[in-house]
Amino acid sequence: MPAEQKFVETIEDLISTAKEALKKNHHAFVLFSGSTDLKTGDSWCANCQKAEPVLEECLKHSKDGDVFMMIEVGSESEWNSPENKFRTHPVFKLQSIPCVVSFKLTGDELSVVDRIEGTKCHDKAQLAKMLNA
């Protein structure tokens, strides 16, 4: 059975969900993506749209017990702001989207182990290596 997939709406939910999985010795991953355009049902971010089917295919082969989360970083104007909370967050420090991150837990501190950003999220081999490690 593949990783559990969850949509999280807040940074707090993301952190608590990741910590919960990691404390059970499972892996925790997140996709940071542009928000959904309510008119089209797709992300405003073209690279995010292209990454989704590649990720879905890779997740079919992920490990049972692992958690794969998705969170939206905001509208295009919100994302482009230097003050965007995902850009300035001390753990995430995002520079581009889409971005897939894997986490580790040291004590109670969450940190990033690996990240795949931008058009590299279209690379099935690179994503599969991260998600199936």
pLDDT of residue 128: 92
* pLDDT of 79 above 70: yes
Comparing CA positions, the residue from 99, 102, 105 lying closest to residue 67 is 102
CA 133, CA 89: separation in Å to the nearest integer? 26
In the chain, the number of structural domains is 1
CA 42, CA 17: separation in Å to the nearest integer? 25
Structural domain of residue 29, as residue ranges?
Answer: 4-131
pLDDT of residue 6: 94
Q: Please, what is the Cα angle at 104 between 99 and 105, to 5 degrees?
A: 135
pLDDT of residue 38: 86
Instruction: Dump pLDDT digits (tens) for 23-73.
Output: 999 999 999 999 998 888 899 999 999 999 999 999 988 888 999 999 999
Whole-model pTM over 0.85: yes
* pLDDT of 133 above 70: no
**What are the start-end ranges of the E strands in the chain?**
4-7, 28-33, 67-72, 99-106, 109-117
In the chain the first and final C-alpha atoms are separated, in Å, by 15
**For position 84, which CATH number holds?**
3.40.30.10
